[in-house]
Amino acid sequence: MDGTRAWVRDRFGEVLELVARRAPEVDRTAEFPEDVLRAYQEAGLMAAQVPPDLGGLGLTHLQFAAVVEEVARHSGALSLLLIVQAVGLLPILLRPEFPRRDEVLTRVTRSGALVGFALTEPPSGSDAYNMRTEVVQRDGAHRLTGVKYLITNAGRAHAYVVFTNFREPGLKHVAAYLVDADREGVRVGPANRLLGMRGIPTASIHFDDVAVDEADRIGGKNEGYVLAMDTLNISRPWIGAQAVGLARGALDTAMQFACQRKVMGEPLIDKQAFRFTLAEVAARIEAASALVERTSRMIDAGREDYTAQSAMCKLVATDTAMWACERALQMLGGPGCIAGNRAERAFRDVKITQIYEGTNEVQKILVARELVQAARARRPAAAGTAPELLT
């Protein structure tokens, strides 16, 4: 991963400098960073994984993870701007047969269109089957009604991938639709005030009897749930990379402070207790980074057995980063609790990484399920027999 990170710093150095310069103000004012968005668009990063023949960069999963990590090292919020676009585009990229695919991807690459991902609802977060948003057929037309909750880039995106129940007489499916933001009946609620990731808007989106048609549907009328899970399985390592970047930034800040701060006449950096903490934090961050790299390489290689690996990656990387950012604040002492420093900002930003893209409790369920299924597939047990003991 070191080589890929070096490539990112070389190719996108000016963008990273802008991110580092703007991060404190974006966090302080919570204003949407128009200039950073333009820089991303000009560098092609808002179409990072769109194929080159459609005007995108065509980055690999590993390359994009490295981009996310390098940006998050300076700002979690500004890395989120990249991630949410990539997640919104993933369902479209995963379904080449989608009728509007080329039209949408061309809008993204040529005019800088933003795409949002609308899955979560007030009564259903990780439990997607509890969705209440629905598409019904009425008078020969399809109408979408419901509320999506905590949607990143709400009010900024030009279109949203909306996951919904698809109702037919006697049947209920889960489908995905691309809904343009300017359609009649689409309404965005007030922006939420956030603990971290400030400057990137999050709000509810209301769909009030919005007209949709077959051309808007991504995949079959009962493929929405599988599409949502496929998207999250692929994108979770990006959250891991974001968390690793936040942890690295917080550790950088703590080390810079310790080199300047003196305690009892000696630099803090020379104290053994500090160095032990430093070593443990650095080691765990590297372990999390290695997990992000391994998972990304599995996806790039076209393997299909990465569900558990993706969940473990997100679980370990985000839990590690939360712990590392807390330790960084402790190493900074009182100054670490002053609003505005990079470690304090990372500490607030990193919390949501344990929650979005599926809470870490859900990741444990996924990992355990995959492990149990694999174990049963290898050794089917006959009913009523005692388990074979290892000798």
Specify the CATH number for the domain of residue 212: 2.40.110.10
Distance CA 43, CA 46 (A): 8
| CATH code for the domain in which residue 235 is found | 1.20.140.10
- Structural domain includes residue 86: yes
Indicate whether 302 and 314 sit together in one domain. Answer: yes
Give the number of domains in the chain: 3
The domain of 147 spans 115-224
Check if the beta carbon of residue 366 is closer than 8 Å to that of residue 308.
yes
Average pLDDT, the chain: 92
What would the pLDDT profile of 4-60 be if each residue is shown by its tens digit?
Answer: 999 999 999 999 999 999 999 999 999 999 999 999 999 999 999 999 999 999 999
- Structural domain includes residue 386: no
Q: Could you say which of 178, 202, 224 is where a domain stops?
A: 224
What would the pLDDT profile of 336-364 be if each residue is shown by its tens digit?
Answer: 888 888 999 999 999 999 999 999 999 99
What would the pLDDT profile of 144-171 be if each residue is shown by its tens digit?
Answer: 999 999 999 999 999 999 999 987 777 7
What would the pLDDT profile of 258-296 be if each residue is shown by its tens digit?
Answer: 888 877 778 888 888 889 999 999 999 999 999 999 999
Tell which wins on pLDDT, 221 or 27: 27
Under the banding of pLDDT at 50, 70 and 90, the label for residue 377 is confident
- What pLDDT does residue 282 have? 96
Q: Could you say which of 84, 111, 138 is where a domain stops?
A: 111
Tell me the mean pLDDT in the region 90-102: 96
pTM of the model: 0.93
Distance CA 259, CA 6 (A): 25
- Structural domain includes residue 171: yes
**Residues annotated catalytic, as ranges:** 357
Q: Could you say which of 49, 79, 111 is where a domain stops?
A: 111
Distance CA 235, CA 86 (A): 8
Indicate whether 205 and 119 sit together in one domain. Answer: yes
Task: List the helix and strand counts (H, then E) for the chain.
Answer: 11, 9
DSSP type of residue 386 = P
pLDDT at 117 over 70: yes
